[in-house]
Amino acid sequence: MESQELIDAFRAQLDQVEAQGNQQVQVTALRAYLNALEKDAERSQEYRKMEHAGMLAHYAAKNQNSIEMLKAVLEAGKSALHALLIINGGAVVSLLGVMSNLAGKTGGAHLAKYLALPLLQFGIGVLLGAIGFALRYLSQAFYTDSRDQKDKLHRVGDLLRYAALCTAIIGYILFGFAVANSYHAVLWSF
């Protein structure tokens, strides 16, 4: 029970005694009443302490959960960019090997001409993966320097994060087009 609540309860009891026509209060009854109020105040204080501790524990758990989710999102984004670099880089190396093998064969120049577009698309996919990593790094740097979510630096970090996401999506789409164009290049050359 808060101090003001205690005083208000005490006044209400005195008003009841006075309303009954009594102008005097027995000391033993008053002491018993004060003891009961004291016990209630102790219970109230313990309840507030427990409630506060519970709120702190809930906040700590919520904060820890947010941190873990952020780590998971960052790791997933990093893995997606790694995959983009690996698949496009592997495709570039493979196509360069195929094209160098075709250079010495008759009719190979015809197929190599059709494989130039997919090679370019795979190469741009590698570039987009590298740009995505740079944008990811910059967004984290801006988030680290920002004070809160309404800060200008935080908004720049958001924009860079979305730009990194867009470069990854475009890189994957470009990979799909490059695979399709490679397939068609092989079909058209024969």
For 112-142, the pLDDT digits (tens) are 888 999 999 999 999 999 999 999 999 988 8
Contact 102, 111 (CB under 8 A): yes
Q: Which residue has the higher pLDDT, 57 or 109?
A: 57
Report the alpha-carbon distance of residue 31 to residue 38 in Å, rounded: 10
Domain range holding 76? 3-189
Of the listed ranges 14-23, 28-37, 69-78, 80-89, the least confidently predicted one is: 28-37
CA-CA distance, 184 to 116, in Å (whole number)?
12
Q: Model's pTM, two decimal places?
A: 0.67
Residue 143 neighbours by CB under 8 Å, 6+ apart: 153, 154, 157
Whether the CB-CB separation of 174 and 125 falls below 8 Å is answered with yes
Domain tally, the chain: 1
Q: Do the beta carbons of residue 155 and residue 149 sit within 8 Å?
A: no
Helix H segments across 27-151? Answer: 27-103, 108-145
